[in-house]
Structure 1
Amino acid sequence: MTSLRPLPDDVVALLEALDAPPRLAAHLRLVHDVACQLVDWFEARGLTVDREAVLFGAATHDVGKVLYPAELSGPGSQHEQAGYELLLERGFPERLARFARTHASWHAPGVGLDDLVVSLADKIWKAKRVQDLEQLVVDRLGGEPWEAFMALDDVLDRIAASADRRLAYQSSHPTK
């Protein structure tokens, strides 16, 4: 998948410093690329998202898996708080580090549209549709709810259509 957008330089440096597994780096790049598509869509609709924060969040949301490598290929949520703390320890501001903690906590207090976009990118990259997550996004889009739902559904269907290629790309990278 040569058309993937590159990760931000500071994220590449972080992953290198942490000796992140290739599969984790591939996953973060895929979710970052999907987040870029979603941010472009939101901006084209005239909606405000913090582009820098969302793209950083997508590129680092699972960074805690360097500390919990079993969660690269199996379930687990220990990486969420660990990733948040790791990013803070490395000098990243809380407004950016928070995505490591919020990407699986859609109903937590203080979760905003930017957090939901990262969560959405983390699901739709592999064509996983999560109705309550999508509804939370629709609720923040404004306008006629049915039209907002249909517009979001269209962009998610388009992104999901190439999930097989993304899954193959991620699987081609070793977990160690």
Structure 2
Amino acid sequence: MPATDVLSRALDAPGDPYVRLLPPAVSELLRTLAAPPRLAAHLRLVHDVAHDLADRLAGYCPGLEFDREAVLFGAATHDIGKAVHTAELSGPGSAHEPTGRELLLAHGFPAHLARFAATHATWHGGSVSIEELLVSTADKVWKGKRVQDLEDLLVDRLAEATGAERWAAYLDLDGVLGRIAEEADGRLAFQAAFPVYA
């Protein structure tokens, strides 16, 4: 099967259960870059989880204000730099982070959206936004991974935004992330169905 057909399947296949499509501008960029199919599948999955996370948090924490569209875009593009640093699709590395930001900027995306490509793996420090925490969380929980220090930062923001006791915010977030993590096996199978290299 030609590489473009495999990439098209990664971008357009419905999945079982259904996996939301990426924003059209992101899909077009991935096609332009002839991105690896596994990368396209991964970005779809993290984007899909970010949708669920945003929806569920809106239900549990109506006082939490965040830029939903920025979170969804950040989740959809967080690893875009791996289109250049393809070895990082199957091994460690962080070269894709600044490269991803620069790639998005070079293709006309604004800096406030391109930043997620560079910040999704770092959530320490006082200047991390709630949007960055949500993208980082989606990037972990899609595969069932729970990261305590990341979740602690998110709990603090939830408690502050809602005025809830910290333990109550923790229980709400734990419930949300637990339900998302329960579906990790299906997501991992969807991603594994696409090759790293077409």
- Range of TM-score over shorter length: over 0.9
User: What is the alpha-carbon distance in structure 1 between the residues aligned to residue 32 and residue 58 of structure 2?
Assistant: 33
Give 1:11's aligned residue: 26
**Conserved in 1, the CA contact under 8 Å of 2:57 and 2:176?**
no
The amino acid that maps onto 1:8 is P
Query: Alignment length, in residue pairs?
Result: 176
1:94 aligns with 2:111: yes
Give 2:185's aligned residue: 164
**Conserved in 2, the CA contact under 8 Å of 1:23 and 1:170?**
yes
Give 2:39's aligned residue: 24
The amino acid that maps onto 1:35 is A
Superposed displacement of residue 110, structure 1? 2.4
Which residue among 156, 165, 169 is the counterpart of 1:148? Answer: 169
Which residue among 27, 46, 49 is the counterpart of 1:34? Answer: 49
Superposed displacement of residue 109, structure 1? 5.1
- 5+ long unaligned stretches in structure 1: none
- Relative to 1, partners in 2 of residues 1:108 and 1:66: Cα closer, same or farther, differing over 3 Å? farther
Deviates more, 1:108-117 or 1:22-31: 108-117
User: What is the alpha-carbon distance in structure 2 between the residues aligned to residue 29 and residue 110 of structure 1?
Assistant: 27
> What's the RMSD between the two structures over aligned residues?
0.9
Greater Rg, structure 1 or structure 2?
2
Give 2:83's aligned residue: 66
**Conserved in 2, the CA contact under 8 Å of 1:24 and 1:72?**
yes
**Conserved in 2, the CA contact under 8 Å of 1:31 and 1:125?**
yes
Which residue among 129, 142, 151 is the counterpart of 1:134? Answer: 151
Describe the SS at the equivalent of 1:137: helix
State the Cα deviation string for residues 42-76 of structure 1 (Å, max 9, x = none).
Answer: 22221212111000000000000011000001111
User: What is the alpha-carbon distance in structure 2 between the residues aligned to residue 164 and residue 38 of structure 1?
Assistant: 17
**Conserved in 2, the CA contact under 8 Å of 1:43 and 1:49?**
no
**Conserved in 2, the CA contact under 8 Å of 1:72 and 1:175?**
yes
**Conserved in 2, the CA contact under 8 Å of 1:39 and 1:49?**
no
1:50 aligns with 2:71: no
Superposed displacement of residue 108, structure 1? 4.0
State the Cα deviation string for residues 124-154 of structure 1 (Å, max 9, x = none).
Answer: 0000010000000001002210000011000
